[in-house]
Amino acid sequence: MGVSESYARGRELFTSNPTGFALRAGLILGLVLLGVDLVRQVATGSLDAARLGIVIKSGILRGLVIGLAGIGLSMTYSILNFANFSHGDYITWGAFSGWAVTYLIAGGFGSEANIGSLLLVGANGSVFGGTLGIGVWTTPVAVFAGLLVAGGATIALALAVDKYVYKPIRDRSGITLLITSIGVAFALRYLMLFVFGGSKRGVTTSQPDWALTLSDGTVNFGAHDVALAAVSVVLMVGVHLLLQRTKLGKAMRAMADNQDLARVTGIPTEQVVRYTWIIGGGLTGVAGFMFVLWKGTLGYFDGWLLLLLIFAAVILGGIGSIYGAIVGGLIIGLTADLAVIWIPSAFGRAAAFAVMIVFLLVRPQGIFGGIETA
């Protein structure tokens, strides 16, 4: 493409959609200015390279959790065509279910805590994860068992809610399902509050660190950081292979593209819906468990707070796109953490939502919207 042709295309874009052109230019300019300022701060020493490394590490790990949980939400939307607001409480359900089993196994031998306190994940301070020495390095069997139960328990919950709540009203409008999912969310949240209590508790003990030495400090990578990254990447690759290489994945893609046509061509749509809940529920439960393992604390409100960022990631990536959920999760996670370099930490979430809004003004369909991705 010659210079004159490039100029002609740019002029055509500006004259046909000047607002869109200005928004794109503003977004690119803003990103460039932030990047230049970041380099300036590191070069002048006003921002330590080690601190920047810590922020980036935290943002990537947070983004992996958001992306992993976002896959389930995106699958539900693309195949069932409704925004499931109970998704956040599925995350919390998976976390409590998994950690109840982890506590039981870790504290079942040589602990003075009774079984009830262990199954309630130390409600009201009856037993602490630090006292039990819980961690991937110190109690790997207990953590692995909890991870499996978190996924399995969330699958069971998702299937039960679909069968008795969503399926009878599935042929109604999306707004009916959305409002119903809000009711399910409140019911689950306050059921968990009633059973496990409202106290936020620590569930892990300190684990070995591996240090990356920089010129002005170190960036530590804990065992739980590595575990979160490994589990997330393995599961994301697994979802990709399932969608691309299996008969079930092809059926899911067909339903997401045109459900009526899929039904006419003989695809067992109800079976595909069931597998959607199984896969999405399993990933969501695992995401909840790993999120708690990474941050070290557990509370009944964790999933709801995370849900807002998950919705932002799914919308930013392109609603219904599996890969969009992953990429959107990483962008939202990094934005929420990197924002603290310029603004108070309390506004990190607001910055993530601001980035989503600005990007959608430029590309309303999201990053992967309208692109064949799965």
CATH, residue 338:
1.10.3470
Mean pLDDT in residue range 321-334: 91
For 223-248, b/e burial (b = at least 16 CB within 10 A) is bbbbbbbebbeebbeebbebbeeeee
Mean pLDDT in residue range 77-94: 90
**pLDDT over 90 for what percent of the chain?**
42
Q: Is 18 contained in some domain?
A: no
50 band by pLDDT with thresholds 50, 70 and 90: confident
- Using alpha carbons, select from 320, 317, 322, 290 the residue that is nearest to residue 306: 290
Give, for 201, the enclosing helix (H) or strand (E). strand 201-202
12 band by pLDDT with thresholds 50, 70 and 90: low
In tens, the pLDDT along 20-48 reads 667 777 778 888 888 888 888 888 888 88
Q: Is 15 contained in some domain?
A: no
Q: Is 354 contained in some domain?
A: yes
Mean pLDDT in residue range 300-324: 89
Q: Is residue 6 scored above 60 in pLDDT?
A: no
3 band by pLDDT with thresholds 50, 70 and 90: very low
In tens, the pLDDT along 261-308 reads 777 777 888 888 899 999 999 999 999 999 999 999 999 989 998 998
Q: Does residue 280 contact residue 77 with C-beta atoms inside 8 Å?
A: no
Rounded to 5 degrees, φ, ψ at 340 are -65, -10
Domain count for the chain, please give it.
Answer: 1
How many helices (H) and strands (E) the chain has is answered by: 15, 4
Q: How far is CA 102 from CA 6, 150, 332, in A?
A: 60, 10, 30
Note the pLDDT of residue 122: 82
**pLDDT over 70 for what percent of the chain?**
91
Q: Is 19 contained in some domain?
A: no
The mean predicted confidence, pLDDT, of the chain is: 85
Q: Is residue 110 scored above 70 in pLDDT?
A: no
Q: Is 5 contained in some domain?
A: no
Note the pLDDT of residue 13: 43
Domain that holds residue 308: 47-362
Q: Does residue 154 contact residue 94 with C-beta atoms inside 8 Å?
A: yes
Note the pLDDT of residue 367: 83
Q: Is 251 contained in some domain?
A: yes
Q: Is residue 258 scored above 60 in pLDDT?
A: yes
Note the pLDDT of residue 5: 54
Q: Which of 119-128, 207-216, 304-313, 337-346 has the lowest mean pLDDT?
A: 207-216
Q: Is 188 contained in some domain?
A: yes
Q: Is 178 contained in some domain?
A: yes
Note the pLDDT of residue 278: 94
